[in-house]
Structures are given as C-alpha cells and as structure tokens.
C-alpha cells in the first residue's frame, strides 16, 4: 500500500487492473487505491509477471502492506507464496524520480472529488473506465443502459455498475467515497504544516504578456479546435525554464536540507468542482517538452484530476507548483507552498493595463506573477531573479514553445 502523503496511515484497495499471470512493466497502472485524499491509480515500479494478488478489493490495509507479488522475468515460479523473494508491488516511500530529490513522500493535497450527483440533462457520451469497458465485453453488458445509474467518478460507469447489471446477486457493499470533509481536512493539515514549518517570503512582479498573447492568438487560429492552446501552458513552461536557471526554486526540502531536482515536474493546482477541494498533480519534465506536447498532457491531467484518475507518481513527483487563478478574475495570488516543495508560483488574470510603451502611455495585456518561496532554500534576491527569468521567457514565446 503506497504512502501518498506524509500523514497517510492506511488505504483501501478498490480495484485491481491485473490478475495473476498478467505481464506488467514499470509505470503500468495496476490498481486503484482510495485514501482520504481520494482515488489514485497506483503505478507499479517493477517489470515482470503478476504472481499473486494478496489483498482483495474492498480491503483497507496499513501503508506498507504488500498488495501483490511480482515475478521478475526469468525468475522460476515458486511453490507457495508468503516468504517469496519476488519483488512486491509497493510503490511506497521511495519513488526513484526525480533523480536528485530523494524519498520523503510529499504531502500535496490530492485528488478526486466524491462522485457528483447524476447530471440533469441527457447523457451524450457513455463514459466508463477502461476496466468497466473490458468487464462489459466479458459479460456481454450494454454500457449505454447503465449511464443513468453510473456510480463512478463524474458519472462514469464503473466495474461495479457493470457487474451489478450482469448478475442478479446483490453486489458487494458499496465503498464509501471520500467525502468533502476528509479532503478539506487533508488540505488543511498540509497547509497548516506548510505554514508551521516553512518560513515563506513573497515576491510579486507584473509581466508583459503582449508577445505571448499575440503568439497564442496566431497559433490558435491555425490549430484545430481540439488542439487549442491555453495561456496556462505557456506560463507553466516559463516557470520550468526559469526553474532550470534558478534551481533553488525546484526540489524538495528533506531532512533539514534542500535536494534540488534536475527535472522540473510542475504541480498544477487544479480546483475540483463543487468546492470538492484542490489537487496539484505533476506535469512531468516540463523543462524539456514542447508546448505542443504539454498542452494535451495538461488537458489530460485536468480531466483525470476532476474524474478521480490521477496516478501515484503524479501525486508524489511535483518539484514546484503553479496556481493560476486568472479565470476567477483575481489580480494576484499569494499562495501557500505545498510541502516538501520550496516554491509556489501564482498567476492572476491577464488583463489590459495602462503602461509605458516606448515612452508613451499604452495599453498592454499584463499578468501579475507571484512567488512564495522557502527562505531556508533561497533568499529574495534569487527569488527576484527567478521571476525576472520567467518574464524574459514569456516575452519570447516562440523560443519558449
């Protein structure tokens, strides 16, 4: 049972996506686990064949419990399970990446909202988890009839819905989804810890977005609707580039020291609908990916955050977080750092503002960017250089993309 936060003690194994005999490779999602932070898709760190499933769906177990055993390729099949030397499926407290930032499980306030009430209008598409679709195929169940009574996240059809439709026998007791109070408590404890332990300092700067806005407009005129870019993707890329230049902003504070990360995995603060909470999962390796690659990845991340299908690596890997509240119309946000990260970048709305342009009064789209940083890892001077670097990158969007 992985630890998905420093204060997590136990989790409930909700669903297995593999069975004994299945081949798995590192990074595959093998199970769904539920904690008070929501449902997380658990990825496996080993490559091999599933030997034995040790924890049945619906069972709650302490963090660290072996959930299943994996036989590495080439290893002979062993007789009886328990003391097998095969590596176990516990992506626990030691995820290898990012290379220079070691183990300590971070406490990002994480994932999925409780399943929202069924939507009042007609359902246009049949949304179902991949596991549900497979089960439906196996059992010969028509998914379209289940849409109205779906119990999965965001009204998607879950494996349980399919099985309930197929069999006359009563389904297993429904798993209680994490309720808003649990999520609120998880966020509260992470933020309280942050304020207790991290000496925050705050800087703000106004960044000219004229070039960036023009570039985005031109790009989106040529792109298909489904491929349109949002300003956020450019902002996030600028943060990543600046983080490479000022590394004291990118990494984790662990055991009294700053562990910089060579990769920039940007946590994207995503508000969950219906005031269900906040999660900030990682967009990986932003510094080296083109915007054309980042935009669909960002869209996928947001969708999965809101439907409760984030992956464990996304919860534990952020090295810096971005929160953008421009859509809500605020000018600036002075955020709270997500421990054990050491910096948080905030963005307000892009608005037309009067400013000096070539010695005359002009009007340009501008944005207020803020930095909340850990004074143990950096001083204001370095923070200022970081914000300046961001502004420089956003002034040259073609090179940034």
Partner 1 sequence: MSAPAKPTPADDELDAALRALLAGIAPDADVTRLDSTSDIRSTLDIDSFDFLQFVIGVKERLGVEIPESDYAQVRTLESCVRYVAQRRRPTPS
Among 6, 61, 302, 401, binds partner 1 (CB under 8 A): 302
Round to whole Å and give the CA distance between 75 and 90: 19
Among 79, 82, 99, 120, binds partner 1 (CB under 8 A): 120
In 3-state terms, what secondary structure has residue 31?
Answer: strand
Give the total of residues touching partner 1 (CB under 8 A): 29
Q: Establish if 125 lies at the interface with partner 1 (CB under 8 A).
A: yes
The stretches of 129-271 forming alpha helices (DSSP H) are: 130-139, 159-166, 180-197, 210-222, 231-245
Among 59, 134, 205, 220, binds partner 1 (CB under 8 A): 220
Q: Establish if 299 lies at the interface with partner 1 (CB under 8 A).
A: yes
Q: Establish if 124 lies at the interface with partner 1 (CB under 8 A).
A: yes
In 3-state terms, what secondary structure has residue 157?
Answer: strand
CB of 274 to partner 1, least distance (A): 4
Among 85, 94, 123, 396, binds partner 1 (CB under 8 A): 123
Taking residues 139 to 168 in sequence order and writing x for each that binds partner 1 by CB under 8 A, - otherwise, the string is ---------------xx-------------
Q: For 106-117, what is the HEC assignment?
A: CCCCCCCCCCCC
End-to-end CA distance of the chain: 39
| Residue matched to tokens 């299943």 | 68
Q: Establish if 225 lies at the interface with partner 1 (CB under 8 A).
A: yes
Nearest to 261 by CA among 319, 180, 217: 319
DSSP output for 316-364: H--SEEEEE-GGGT-S---PPP-TTB-EEEEE---EEEEEEETTEEEEE
CB of 26 to partner 1, least distance (A): 30
Query: Between 217 and 293, whose beta carbon lies closer to partner 1?
Result: 217
Q: Establish if 119 lies at the interface with partner 1 (CB under 8 A).
A: yes
Q: 233 to 262, contacts with partner 1 by CB under 8 A? A: none
Q: 224 CB contacts (<8 Å, ≥6 apart)?
A: none
Q: Establish if 273 lies at the interface with partner 1 (CB under 8 A).
A: yes
Among 21, 77, 221, 381, binds partner 1 (CB under 8 A): 221
CB of 178 to partner 1, least distance (A): 16
Q: Structure tokens of 395?
A: 């002034």
Peptide bond before residue 98 is cis, with ω within 30 degrees of 0: yes
Taking residues 318 to 357 in sequence order and writing x for each that binds partner 1 by CB under 8 A, - otherwise, the string is --------xxx-----------------------------
Sign, Cα dihedral of 307, 322, 63, 18: positive
- What are the residues binding partner 1 (CB under 8 A)? 116-125, 154-155, 217, 220-221, 225-226, 228, 230-232, 271, 273-274, 299, 302, 326-328
């Amino acid at each position: 049972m992985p630890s998905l936060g420093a204060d997590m003690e136990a989790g409930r194994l909700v669903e297995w996506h593999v069975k004994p005999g299945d081949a798995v490779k590192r990074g595959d999602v093998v199970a769904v686990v539920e904690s008070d932070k929501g449902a997380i898709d658990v990825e496996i760190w080993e490559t091999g064949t599933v030997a034995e499933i040790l924890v049945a769906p619906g069972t709650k177990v302490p963090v660290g419990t072996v959930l299943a055993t994996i036989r590495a390729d080439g290893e002979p099949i062993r007789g009886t399970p328990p003391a097998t030397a095969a590596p176990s499926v516990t992506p626990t407290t030691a995820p290898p990446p990012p290379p220079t930032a070691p183990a300590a499980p971070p406490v990002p306030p994480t994932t999925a909202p409780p399943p929202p009430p069924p939507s009042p209008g007609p359902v246009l598409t049949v949304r179902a988890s991949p596991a549900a679709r497979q089960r439906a195929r196996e059992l010969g169940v028509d998914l379209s009839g289940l849409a109205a009574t779906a119990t999965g996240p965001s009204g998607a059809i879950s494996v349980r819905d399919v099985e309930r439709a197929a069999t006359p026998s009563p389904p297993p007791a429904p798993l209680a989804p994490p309720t808003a109070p649990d999520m609120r408590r998880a966020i509260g404890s992470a933020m309280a810890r942050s304020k207790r332990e991290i000496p925050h300092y705050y800087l703000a700067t106004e960044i000219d977005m004229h070039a960036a806005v023009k570039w985005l407009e031109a790009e989106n005129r040529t792109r298909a609707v489904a491929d349109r870019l949002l300003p956020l993707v450019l902002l996030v890329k600028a943060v990543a580039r600046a983080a490479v230049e000022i590394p004291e902003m990118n990494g984790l504070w662990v055991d009294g020291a700053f562990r910089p990360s060579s990769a920039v995995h940007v946590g994207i603060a995503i508000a969950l609908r219906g005031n269900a909470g906040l999660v900030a999962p990682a967009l990986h390796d932003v510094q080296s990916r083109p915007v054309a690659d980042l935009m669909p990845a960002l869209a996928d991340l947001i969708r999965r955050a809101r439907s409760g299908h984030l992956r464990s690596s996304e919860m534990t890997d952020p090295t810096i977080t971005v929160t953008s509240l421009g859509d809500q119309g605020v000018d600036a946000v002075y955020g709270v750092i997500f421990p054990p990260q050491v910096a948080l970048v905030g963005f307000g709305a892009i608005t037309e503002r009067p400013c000096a342009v070539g010695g005359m009064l002009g009007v340009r789209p501008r944005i207020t960017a803020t930095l909340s940083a850990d004074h143990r890892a950096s001083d204001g001077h370095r923070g200022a250089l970081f914000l300046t670097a961001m502004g420089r990158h956003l002034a040259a969007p073609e090179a940034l993309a």
